[in-house]
A = this chain, B = another copy of it.
Amino acid sequence: MSAPALYSPDLARDMIRKGEWLKPTSGVSNGFIQANLAVIPKELAFDFLLFCQRNPKPCPIIDVTEPGSGIPELAAPTGNIKTDIPKYRIYRHGEFVEEKTDVTDVWDDNMVGFLIGCSFTFEDALLTNGVPIRHIEENCNVPMYQTNIPCVKAGAFEGPMVVSMRPMSEKDAIRAVQVTSRFPSVHGAPIHIGNPRAIGIKNIHQPEFGDPVTIKDGEVPVFWACGVTPQAVAMNVKPEIMITHAPGHMFITDLKNEHFAII
């Protein structure tokens, strides 16, 4: 069997569905968009969709399922968000309840699934352009921080933007702006370069989510809007039930990264 990087998305999802792949999906089906998942009750879906529409940098929508359906018709018509993610998390009234490898038994006809872009896409583009990525070098999770940048409210959904950070040389930071600007539908250009305090981050060495990474002399921190934002904001609303992917265990779509490049 070929390397996971070469699996077709369909094969990768099939293996995940059968329980043959239970690990994080980083490096699987290279070149294809992977997505964050947030499933919420239909009653909240309009406000949540509006929230994402109003905050496209942290909440870039890749696909939304019809109420009750697990099939993302646009992103992966042969896939199913109830079964094709290696590890899910279930939250009730905003509290974490359990992890599962299949959510068919907690699914009901009232649920709407949101697939939201993740940074894998633009990281791939950065690497292709010779911009090194520290957390990949250090084999850990990207550091993520809560900022003082308010998202635009929609209905009950509101809260601060969460950002991810990648340190790099100033020369690379300029190239990173160019490279990631090509992908407005998957977080796009950085939202901040430089002084962390300017966006309310007190200690760059203590991320709220993920792991700290080394920042070398002469490097600047470069911040991107992060797909954790919509999950964090939805959690605040304490929906009766909410299903997400477990960190790093993403939904693999049929859409090519390059399909999302605007130029």
Question: What 0/1 readout, one digit per residue, does chain A (169-192) give for beta carbons within 8 Å of chain B?
Answer: 000000000100100100010000
Q: Is the interface of A mostly helix, strand, loop or mixed?
A: mixed
| A15-68 contacts to B (CB < 8 Å) | 42, 45-46, 49-50, 53-54, 61, 63-64, 66
Question: What 0/1 readout, one digit per residue, does chain A (221-263) give for beta carbons within 8 Å of chain B?
Answer: 0000000000000000000000000000000000000000011
CB distance from A109 to the nearest CB of B (A): 15
CB distance from A81 to the nearest CB of B (A): 15
CB contacts (< 8 Å) of A155 on chain B: these are: 66
CB contacts (< 8 Å) of A184 on chain B: these are: 184, 262
Q: Does any Cβ of B come within 8 Å of A152's Cβ? A: yes
User: Complex formed: what's the CA distance from A61 to B46 in Å?
Assistant: 14
Q: Does any Cβ of B come within 8 Å of A74's Cβ? A: yes
CB contacts (< 8 Å) of A61 on chain B: these are: 53
CB distance from A190 to the nearest CB of B (A): 13
Among B53, B64, B188, which residue has its beta carbon within 8 angstroms of that of A64?
A: B53
Nearest opposing residue in chain B for A181, CB measure:
B263
Size bracket, chain A contacts: 20 to 34
Known: A66-B155, A181-B262, A263-B181. A74 touches B54 (CB 8 A): yes
User: Complex formed: what's the CA distance from A73 to B42 in Å?
Assistant: 24
CB distance from A26 to the nearest CB of B (A): 27
User: Complex formed: what's the CA distance from A249 to B53 in Å?
Assistant: 25
CB contacts (< 8 Å) of A181 on chain B: these are: 262-263
Among B45, B54, B73, B74, which residue has its beta carbon within 8 angstroms of that of A46?
A: B45
Nearest opposing residue in chain B for A61, CB measure:
B53
Residues B188 and A74 in contact, CB atoms below 8 Å apart: no
Question: What 0/1 readout, one digit per residue, does chain A (64-99) give for beta carbons within 8 Å of chain B?
Answer: 101000000110000000000000000000000000
Chain A residues proximal to chain B, CB less than 8 Å: 42, 45-46, 49-50, 53-54, 61, 63-64, 66, 73-74, 152, 154-155, 178, 181, 184, 188, 262-263
Interchain Cβ contacts under 8 Å between A and B, 12 examples = A45-B46, A49-B50, A53-B64, A54-B63, A54-B74, A66-B154, A66-B155, A73-B152, A178-B263, A184-B184, A184-B262, A263-B263
